[in-house]
Amino acid sequence: MHRRMTLSVLAVSVMLTGMSCVNRSDVGAPPPIPTAESLNGGVGDGGADDESVLVRLETSKGDIDIAVHPAWAPNGSARFLELVEIGFYDDCRFFRVLPNFMAQVGISGDPNVHAKWGENTIQDDPVVESNQRGYVTFAKSGLPNSRSTQFFINFKDNSRLDSDRFSPFGRVVSGMDVALSLTSQYGETPSQPAITQNGNAYLNSQYPNLDFIKKAYVVQE
């Protein structure tokens, strides 16, 4: 089942694949990682009082480094780190990029892989940090506990999303210029159901210029 996701009162939609409940014991704990608080050039104050995990997205436009803060959103952080660890985001397309709003990614290019995770949802986290420029947040539907694999990078102050329970789990600390350069050629034209069913074969044939994550991994010091 596919539901249209509501991101704002302006009726800009974020889509996510079908939903089902998941036991948090099935998600697994995030791997032990170094902190990233010593990094410079980040956006916002970064919540320097809590430890963070540094994840690098090697994209077709360059590297984007994300400091993941478990204290901000424990469930979201654990799911994101788990998916990074198993290589879920490798070769994923930024299928929805809207200038002055956000860039969205997180449907596996392999339909069989996405079938396992797309409906494997997690419990909501309270909104601790606001959706400011550079902050990274899971996409969700208007229903509770509907986050699974898709996330987006805020291009500007999108704090209007806070009241809809979009809970940031991290922020871009390096490579915001790369994020802003991701192609918005296709807007939100790619069909999420078609991506879910046919993966990158569909995207490569219909939207060949989409930027993508080559590899996502935890940065070790």
CATH number (domain holding residue 74): 2.40.100.10
- For residue 20, name the pLDDT band (cuts at 50, 70, 90): very low
With respect to residue 151, please indicate whether it lies within any of the assigned structural domains: yes
64-112, pLDDT tens digit by residue?
A: 999 999 999 999 999 999 999 999 999 999 999 999 999 999 999 999 9
The domain in which residue 201 lies consists of 24-28+50-218
CA–CA separation, 90 and 144 (whole Å): 28
Inter-residue contact 99 to 215 (CB < 8 Å): no
Q: Does residue 14 sit within a domain?
A: no
Residue 38 confidence (pLDDT): 35
Average model confidence (pLDDT) across the chain? 83
pLDDT band at 205 (very low <50, low <70, confident <90, very high): very high
pLDDT value at residue 200: 98
* Tally of domains within the chain: 1
Residue 187 has pLDDT above 90, yes or no: yes
The answer to the question of residue 44 being in a domain is: no
Q: Is 70 exceeded by the pLDDT of residue 26?
A: no
Token pair recorded at residue 194:
């078609």
pLDDT at position 23: 30
Does some domain include residue 42?
no
- Rounded average pLDDT over 52-63: 98
H/E stretch holding 83 reads helix 74-85
Q: Where are the beta strands (DSSP E) in 41-166?
A: 53-59, 62-68, 92-93, 96-98, 102-105, 135-138, 151-154
Residue 161 falls inside a structural domain: yes
- 22, 84, 131, 173 from 27: Cα distances, Å: 8, 13, 25, 26
Query: Is the residue at 18 inside a domain?
Result: no
Whole-model pTM? Answer: 0.80
pLDDT at 220: 74
In a domain, residue 3? The reply is no
Position 92 in a domain = yes
